[in-house]
Amino acid sequence: MTNATSPSDGLSAPGLRSALLAACVAQFLLPFMVGGLTPLLPALGKDLNASAMHLGLVGAVYALSLAVFHLLAGRIGDIIGRRRLFLTGIGLFVAMSTALPFSPSITIFLALRFMQAVGTACMNTSVLAILVSCAPPAIRGRVLGISSIGIFAGISCGPPIGGFIATQLSWHWLFWMMLPLGLVALCLVAFNIRNEWVHAADAPFDWAGAFCWLFAMSGLACGATWILAGPWAWGLLAFGALSLGVFLLAEQRTAKKGRCPVLDMEIVFHNRPFLLNSAISFICNCTILGEVFLLGLYAQFGQGLTMQQAGFMLSIQPVIQLVLAPVAGRLADRCGAAKVAAGGVFVCGMGMLAASFLDMNSPVIHTAACLVVVGSGLAFFGAPNTSAVFGSVDEAHLSQASGVVGTVRTMGMLASMVIVSLSMNAFLGSEAAGPHNARQFLAAMHTDFTVFSLLAATALLLSALLLWRYPAKPDASR
């Protein structure tokens, strides 16, 4: 199979349409599963006799698994082939989705949930690398923009469908709904894409590096999740940071010995465009989950909306992203991915800054406007930034770049919730947010959105540095 093709072929490039459809489905499954499961947690807890702590672990084990295996999947894909890794990942996801409704206890459920996330990490890492390999460079932004429709569709559909299942069916149906979607993606790749893209077939897997990465991400993810639980959580964070340092040193030595590391240090320390684009992605992802969480609570406690009304209002943001993401992808191909991503960072920062001025007397339309502005900014940032990350590495490093993209997103979102947790604890203490302490909640929200605005400003400065020091070179294929 030939991966390179002329730009005139557009979406008719060999295997591209199948890879694009598979990527849409694969990227839909993750946010849909996370958002759809949230309304079902009370029913799940009742059926499995789970405590509140156990229900909190349902999301935590999923995030931990993604943080660990996104990067590892990138290297595994180089060894066994991206296509084979995708088929293995989607197969594991489908198998775990079938088994989860039959869990006899919450312990078994959490173990299966962890393995389901392993499958998710494998399929998402490999399908993005396959998609970029199939796409001509001249339309890379376009296809990534189209594929991101799956992400925003999953975000939009997850909570309302989960709510419907919670009231009309049982929580088991959420997992059974994954089966036909997963099988569609599996068939698209199995029957229409033949290339494996193996780049390190003879290299032994770097088990030492893998375990160092496991310890690092486990410490950071668990410490971030339970950061307010006590000093032991800060100890986990310190352990994770130390393990991350050991991992980086070990990977550097592994490369010098001629072995194949989990993460090639060349793309970390010597590929500045890749490093800057990844850092910008991490910083922007530090604002995403916190912004949605805060505005959802503010709509209820500050503006008196019902839970259902607040849910509908929050859906404005992913709908805007759904509509604008393909436009942003096309624009990235024409004007340069880094430039469009920088514009998205600026618009997103303006939305965060506007949200920091919301008060008890702000009309609902102001909150909706903030969601529109932030959603527009994220739409023009997401796919172009991903395109810029992939454009900064060669074909042999696409799998690793894809793993870094997933890891950066996951850790950024965890950092976002850490920021919110710390501010809530500072202003509300151990009390839950509600109408009785709306003013204290508002003070915490103002603090968070100020922090998010500063983070966006930092990302914008890095974007300016990137554009100044590493201007995009014209692509001969355009």
Q: What is the domain-level CATH number for residue 131?
A: 1.20.1250.20
Residues 243 and 355 reside in one and the same domain: no
Q: Note whether 315 and 158 are within 8 A (CB).
A: no
Tell me whether residue 59 is exposed, middle or buried, using C-beta atoms within 10 angstroms of its C-beta: 0 to 12, 13 to 18, 19 or more: middle
Residues 121 and 182 reside in one and the same domain: yes
Residues 320 and 434 reside in one and the same domain: yes
Residues 463 and 315 reside in one and the same domain: yes
Q: Note whether 136 and 477 are within 8 A (CB).
A: yes
Residues 348 and 291 reside in one and the same domain: yes
CA distance 263 to 247: 9
> In this predicted structure, what is the pLDDT of residue 431?
66
Number of domains in the chain: 3
User: Angle at Cα 395 formed by Cα 392 and Cα 398, nearest 5°?
Assistant: 70
CA distance 196 to 76: 12
Residue 108 lies in a domain: yes
Which structure tokens are listed for 311? Answer: 């849910």
Residues 330 and 439 reside in one and the same domain: yes
Residues 450 and 461 reside in one and the same domain: yes
Residues 55 and 157 reside in one and the same domain: yes
CA distance 296 to 308: 10
Residues 355 and 411 reside in one and the same domain: yes
Tell me whether residue 203 is exposed, middle or buried, using C-beta atoms within 10 angstroms of its C-beta: 0 to 12, 13 to 18, 19 or more: middle
Residue 2 lies in a domain: no
Tell the residue number behind the tokens 């310190």, with chain if given: 238
Q: Residue 375 phi/psi, 5° resolution?
A: -60, -40
Residues 297 and 244 reside in one and the same domain: no
Residue 235 lies in a domain: yes
Which structure tokens are listed for 267? Answer: 């793309």
Q: Is the dihedral of CA 299, 42, 110, 186 positive or negative?
A: negative
CA distance 453 to 286: 11
CA distance 222 to 226: 6
- Domain residues for the domain of 168 are 15-196
CA distance 421 to 293: 11
Which structure tokens are listed for 329? Answer: 């992808």
Q: What are the CA-CA distances from residue 456 to residues 11, 157, 304, 315 (Å)?
A: 34, 28, 29, 22
Residues 351 and 300 reside in one and the same domain: yes
Q: Note whether 7 and 138 are within 8 A (CB).
A: yes
Residue 477 lies in a domain: no
> In this predicted structure, what is the pLDDT of residue 385?
92
Could you report the average pLDDT of every consecutive run of 10 residues in the chain (478 residues)? 40 74 87 77 81 74 87 87 91 92 90 92 90 85 86 78 76 87 90 81 80 90 78 88 89 74 80 91 88 82 74 83 89 90 94 89 88 92 90 84 88 85 79 70 89 94 90 50
Tell the residue number behind the tokens 């915490």, with chain if given: 444
